[in-house]
């Protein structure tokens, strides 16, 4: 049933133009990115040592040194490369996706098991948008966007790398579809268009 604040059938009158993905904040990905960078350096060093001239110090350390190691340099390179790739892909499975039909939350459970929750725009009864500090481009407090759903439940969106952009986008969609907005970024006018500076 359509909300009382909008005419019947209004739920299908507005959709975002394209799919937009928001990944986790950089500070949450820092360890993974550092591990990927470390793995690239080590694997590059091993590959260079294996192809270096036989009288070079790199060849002697990487290839000839394998005789005294429990794990060879080639196996070490494979393990590091695979684990770094897995860690990077794992980070890509988190975040928020806004698409024409609704919103998608991607989370990781224990042991890296992905969980995806999807909500159509018709399922969202209210959107809480935290105020945005224009100077910093981030919400003034640590709260995130909250969705009040049609069944009376609430869900909070995870923090993303560009919270201000996500807040503005969801506020525009909510205003255009007559979904009540609580709070507000202050960067969108009543017609759902971003306010221009100057």
Segments making up each domain of the chain, as ranges: 29-91, 100-183
Distance from C-alpha of 59 to C-alpha of 87, rounded to nearest angstrom: 29
96 neighbors 166 (Cβ within 8 angstroms)? yes
Distance CA 167, CA 170 (A): 5
Cα 192 from Cα 60, distance rounded (Å): 65
The two structure tokens encoding residue 189: 């006018």
pLDDT, tens digit (0-9, with 9 covering 90-100), for 36-80: 999 999 999 999 999 988 888 988 888 888 888 888 899 999 999
Is residue 1 scored above 50 in pLDDT? no
How remote is the C-alpha of 101 from its chain's centroid? 19
User: Per-residue pLDDT tens for 151-171?
Assistant: 888 888 888 888 888 888 888
pLDDT in tens, 91-105: 888 889 998 888 998
């Amino acid at each position: 049933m359509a909300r009382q604040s909008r005419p019947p059938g209004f739920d299908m009158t507005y959709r975002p133009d394209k799919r937009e993905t928001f990944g986790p904040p950089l500070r949450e990905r820092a360890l993974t990115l550092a591990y990927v960078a470390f793995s690239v350096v080590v694997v590059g060093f091993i590959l260079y040592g294996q192809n270096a001239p036989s009288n070079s110090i790199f060849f002697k350390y990487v290839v000839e040194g394998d005789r005294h190691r429990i794990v060879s340099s080639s196996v070490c390179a494979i393990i590091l490369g695979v684990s770094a790739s897995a860690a990077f892909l794992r980070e890509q499975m988190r975040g928020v996706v806004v698409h024409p039909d609704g919103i998608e939350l991607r989370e990781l459970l224990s042991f890296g098991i992905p969980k995806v929750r999807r909500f159509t725009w018709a399922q969202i009864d209210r959107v809480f948008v935290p105020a945005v500090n224009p100077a910093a481009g981030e919400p003034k407090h640590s709260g995130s966007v909250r969705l009040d759903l049609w069944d009376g439940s609430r869900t909070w969106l995870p923090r993303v790398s560009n919270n201000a952009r996500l807040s503005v986008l969801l506020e525009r969609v909510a205003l255009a579809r007559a979904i009540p907005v609580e709070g507000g970024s202050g960067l969108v006018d009543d017609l759902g268009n971003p306010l221009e500076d100057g």
